[in-house]
Chain A
């Protein structure tokens, strides 16, 4: 019989597990864990609960199979821990507990194809409602529909159809560390509209893209990610609170419950799956949470939806891996992180993408991950490796946050490798000036930055009028366009049309000032003109 030999926090060593497989789930003395190393019949297990009181000799039972996500109609609108166990309707204090099957309820099912139809893998054979705003699609494993249930209420694990003799249920399990299959990747460039001007205009992200958001504490990572969770134009949002604050989770839940989805009229929560593994919840479940989250997103992608994964913060995930590796005595690489840090980060972001699903539809997973560099030091390993593997970086700067310039996205220290291509998409979709305006804004900001660095040395008074107008333009763009308060009812979300309009209004004012300068008006006079109208335009709905 298998038994525990050593316990060191979440690291548990086990003897007697002959025949066990790598990444197999086990029950160690009543709590779940996963085998992460095997030598002969000796296994190292990462425990997913607090191991207080666990002693050598405690019984270990294999649970057969790897850590898997239960994918089903219960996900939308729900809140789960890192192992995807429901948190709603459970006890106030989270005590260590084994994995249990969830309670049963009946879901309204409607067949989409009659018996006898041939169905390729990934095509919908039925639709489930009552789970959030979107129809939840039951997909075919491939074959011919031999039987399908009539419309009605069924349990998630009941057979609703049979395809070439295989039972099809609404819910099923998929190992979280392996990506769900798809037919192929698409390289179409469509932006994910976030409703944040600095992003949509200057640093856009595409559907299926990847974004890292590094920033020291208090620079606004969580507020920005929550804004995107609320307002981006995705079908499904998977919000992972990975080792962050409990109060923030309570906050985001309360807001998502109250806010209406502008596109469906339903609650925003109904298009959201919240995974909450706060910093005081077990550390290794935090490690698992980013994988469960991305698996859930892939599942909705496979139904032909556009999903976004928001992970706050990926640094806490990397730290959990470091912590475990060091307890296991692994040789550390940079700053104590295990040597596979870079490949683990790369593999995680690789699960993003715009794809053709098995069913032949386009669907996407976009991943946006916060990074919390210790001491705000952007040269630390998690930040530097993440920057290598993502297509977009929104760098949050302490100086901007300190000056209450929110969102504190640095316009010169960030990048989007899809910026030009996505700007072209806007032009093709009726916003003819988008590319020109974007180029102009970026150019003015860069020139203003260069000039203000110079002004710190020689004083702006020494500049010719045109240069002083450029400095002024920098200020107008920063205050009137880039700054966007998450707390403002009128401005928290900004549609692309409005972003375009605000941009051209400011550029018009800048042109006017440049012209005045050219005509000889002294810079001081131009600077003291009343710009409050163009600066306050963003506060008007």
Chain B
């Protein structure tokens, strides 16, 4: 194909460039932009109007001049090479190597935007991904093919936890890979994520895409799409169980907002574009399991809630799409600071129990949560009337909450707990209460596992 190059940029505004005089340029096409300095940039067509093409420039327009820039269009929306060549690689937010290796090559390519998965081909998620993090495995189990968000706030160790999950997760011996898409991370954060994932990378089980805080902002629009395209291939063509971690989605949404503002679009809540829900869904819905294929794609978007506000559009719309959330909240000196009562894995019930984890799993999780809820009430009451005025049962529940925090929740960032160990600890925690208080647990399970006095 002869590449036509256009040299007339009629307008430059924020991350946008208008190329005039074009013909046969399609919507959402990929563009390559050459500056007079020799530098190459990339773009996506946001709109075509007769002979004008509106291009969002991933690397930004700074330094671009109207008359000395050449733009070529690819003839189709962006395609990404896919295949096992990605495993073990570290790349930037657009998929270019950062590890000194050659460009990633794949035997085939797939469109970065992906295609929607026919709902009749989906299989309801039904097996666990074990993270080795007790509070998650016990109370908000990840299920293969699920999307579940990690909600956090500034200053909390969500990246540390995301990296720990990415480093430790497994699917009980079946082939497992992690695709980690970092957006807007600081160099220090990125370095610690790389450290935590070093073994996984060396084992050829990791794809790391890094868009850092000082990398081009608009490039972030592409990073999760490349990650998901690579992951879909690993999962649905190569039969691997793939966990995709996307951090930080708040930075991704800010990039979208920036483009939207530059286009002068009518904003919805907090100046985010009205299509934020659909845009996020076009990413989050790429998880799942498919009939007749062994692999699965599980998605863990990580986001910081601005000012800790869960009604902010980014967490709110994420919550409207994901199948549950793991919520972090400030808890003095505690890692991981998971707020068990606000967290929920909506698909857990299908992924745990006999033959998957342990037969009493659902009951034990429900009992633990009910007891923690009661402890929270008792704690609030104690603040009003004083701990001395509490009933023995309420005091027992406060003891349980303490045991939960020390024996189950608290865990080192490099400590991987087996399911046996997690259950062992969980039984010790509930055994702090007298047996008659454990109405949600079956007699058989209690006979086998309850131990007087915790």
Contacts and interface: CB of A to CB of B under 8 A. Distances in A.
A56 B122 CA distance: 36
Given A87-B118, A319-B278, A335-B268, A56 B51 contact: yes
B319 interface: yes
B251 to A, nearest CB: 21
A218 interface: yes
A326 B265 contact: yes
17 contacts: A6-B47, A8-B47, A55-B26, A56-B25, A88-B120, A93-B115, A218-B344, A241-B119, A246-B116, A246-B117, A247-B287, A249-B119, A278-B281, A323-B274, A326-B274, A372-B320, A374-B311
Given A91-B118, A94-B116, A246-B117, A6 B50 contact: yes
A250 B316 contact: no
Given A326-B274, A374-B316, A336 B119 contact: no
A281 B286 CA distance: 11
A87 B117 CA distance: 11
Contact of A93 (B118, B311, B369, B373): B118
A250 B123 contact: yes
A50 B324 CA distance: 28
A254 B347 CA distance: 14
A276 B346 CA distance: 20
Contacts of A94: 115-118
Contact of B50 (A56, A246, A282): A56
B77 A279 contact: no
Contacts, number: 179
Interface of B: 23-29, 46-51, 76-77, 111, 113, 115-125, 145-146, 265-269, 274-275, 277-278, 281-282, 285-288, 290, 311-313, 316-317, 319-321, 323-325, 341-342, 344, 346-347, 349, 369, 373
Q: Which range contains the number of A residues in contact with the other chain?
A: 35 or more
Nearest to B285: A280
Interface in A25-60: 50-57
Contacts of A377: 311
Contacts of B320: 217, 372
A480 to B, nearest CB: 15
Contact of A247 (B115, B122, B342): B122
A92 B26 contact: no
Quick one: which of B27, B325, B342 has the most chain A CB within 10 A?
B27
B113 A52 contact: yes
B267 A336 contact: yes
B24 A57 contact: yes
Contact of A56 (B48, B117, B266): B48
B323 A247 contact: yes
A5 interface: yes
Contacts of A51: 27-28
A253 B117 CA distance: 15
Contacts of A332: 266
Given A217-B319, A246-B285, A336-B266, A376 B311 contact: yes
A322 interface: yes
A216 B316 CA distance: 9
Quick one: which of A13, A50, A316 has the most chain B CB within 10 A?
A50
Q: Which 10 A-B pairs have the closest CB atoms?
A: A279-B281, A375-B311, A250-B122, A280-B285, A93-B115, A52-B28, A217-B319, A55-B26, A7-B27, A53-B26
B116 A9 contact: no
B343 to A, nearest CB: 11
A56 B73 CA distance: 14
Quick one: which of B281, B288, B312, B344 has the most chain A CB within 10 A?
B281
A377 B268 CA distance: 14
B202 to A, nearest CB: 33
Contact of B27 (A55, A241, A374, A376): A55
A283 B277 CA distance: 11
A245 interface: yes
A54 B324 CA distance: 37
A284 to B, nearest CB: 11
A151 B90 CA distance: 68
A487 B350 CA distance: 11
Given A245-B285, A279-B278, A316-B277, A54 B26 contact: yes
Interface string A77-103: 001000000011111111100000000
Given A7-B27, A53-B76, A57-B23, 10 more contacts: A51-B27, A53-B27, A55-B26, A56-B48, A247-B125, A278-B285, A280-B117, A282-B116, A326-B274, A375-B311
B171 to A, nearest CB: 18
Contact of B269 (A9, A88, A374): A374
B117 A375 contact: no
A57 B51 CA distance: 10
A340 interface: no
Contacts of B324: 218
A89 B118 CA distance: 10
A489 interface: no
Contact of A245 (B123, B312, B323): B323
A243 interface: yes
A280 B325 CA distance: 20
Given A246-B285, A247-B122, A7 B26 contact: yes
Contacts of B342: 402
A55 B48 contact: yes
A402 B372 CA distance: 13
A279 B118 contact: no
A7 B145 contact: no
A403 interface: yes
Contacts of A157: none
Contacts of B269: 335, 374-375
B277 A53 contact: no
B266 A326 contact: yes
Contacts of A322: 268, 274
Contact of A280 (B50, B286, B369): B286
A53 B146 contact: no
A320 B281 CA distance: 13
Contacts of A91: 118
A251 interface: yes
Contacts of B23: 56-57
Contacts of B124: 247, 250-251, 254
A336 B267 CA distance: 7
Contacts of A88: 120
Nearest to A9: B27
B383 to A, nearest CB: 14
Given A79-B120, A92-B290, A247-B145, A319 B274 contact: yes
A10 B131 CA distance: 40
Contacts of A5: 49-50
Contact of A283 (B26, B278, B316, B369): B278
A323 B275 contact: yes
A53 B117 contact: no
